[in-house]
Amino acid sequence: MTLRQKTICFIVGSLFSGSTLLGNSLNGSPEVIFLGETDRLRYFRRYENCPDYYVDQSILSENNHMPCEFWNRAFLTKLKWLSTAEAFLEIIERTGTSIVLDGSKNIDWLIDLYPSLIEKYNVVAIVSARNPFAFCSSYRKLNQVSAWAAAEVWRNVYSHTLRCLSSYSIPNILIRYEDFALDPERFLQQKLTRFLGIPFHPQMMQYWQVPNYALGGNTGAYLQFQQFQHAKLDPSEQWKPEYYHNKPFGGWVSERWLDVLDEDQIAEIASLDGVMATAFNLGYNLTALIRQHRDKQLLGNNGLECKSC
């Protein structure tokens, strides 16, 4: 990595991979600004077929119905008249940090911007991964599709992401949600800060005390912010405050897929061509996960609690 003024880091991967939590924690460093899902800005016009997917301000500002200091109207209007590359460069120059973190999780977004960035900045990526069973459980709930269809999405996202990173020789680090959520401090201290070339800051473990201007993402990763108003959550997300209540940052992993998916769905996901190989490339042992699911089902059927889950 060459010595340049700024490093642009893209979080890439799938939905439900813990990218918002990861980005928010890194935002705790004074040397990092987490911009969130910038590809969803209306001014980039990437989702004309899904206009409801667009965002115009940070999730905290939207929740509070307050203007966003970073994504203010004057700045966004300026972006409207620029090309995508020019607009993204304007966003970068607006930041005052050495690390600019994009959480779009969109490898095509990175590749589209790459030629305009590489001559001036360091460009790196964090691959945010989630095991295929957990992804499929959440994706099926959101989109009402079969386990097979959800598994196909997971496989395609990660195989395409890894292939592009390799083709463009983009430096990257793999962070599995299951590992990071269990021990975020270790991953921040020993892996992520070293990868980004910055020191560890205690504020990373108390990210909710630091100003945050991130676009989009999982609202569950904002519940600890004092200014976040739980009552203004969308009705479809009203379950989150109770679910996350008293759950600390670190020390636990959301494993709802163990209860949601049945054995047939697990088999359907694991047997799809390419899923096993892609999971292996991401460091997942599907055989062990299938065994974990089977054990959980057996314990559940016997009226017992699986303490390891």
Question: 34, 154 in Cβ contact below 8 A?
Answer: no
Sign of the C-alpha dihedral, residues 185, 188, 194, 199?
negative
Which element (helix H / strand E) includes 208?
Answer: none
Taking 70 as the threshold, does the pLDDT of residue 279 lie above it?
yes
Question: 275, 154 in Cβ contact below 8 A?
Answer: yes
pLDDT in tens, 62-96: 998 889 999 999 999 999 899 999 999 999 999 99
Distances (CA, A) of 244 to 216, 236, 250: 19, 15, 12
Which pTM does this prediction carry? 0.94
**Mean of pLDDT values over 168-195:** 98
Non-local CB neighbours of 80 within 8 Å, separated by 6+ positions: 43
250: helix, strand or coil: coil
Question: 16, 195 in Cβ contact below 8 A?
Answer: no
Q: Where are the domains of the chain?
A: 7-134+147-254
129 or 66, which is more confident? 129
Distance CA(306)–CA(296), nearest Å, equals: 6
pLDDT in tens, 38-64: 999 998 989 988 888 999 999 999 998
**Which fold is adopted by the domain 7-134+147-254?**
Rossmann fold (3.40.50)
Distance CA(248)–CA(103), nearest Å, equals: 22
Question: 107, 160 in Cβ contact below 8 A?
Answer: yes
- pLDDT, residue 52, reads 85
Residue 195's pLDDT band (cuts 50, 70, 90): very high
Taking 70 as the threshold, does the pLDDT of residue 1 lie above it?
no
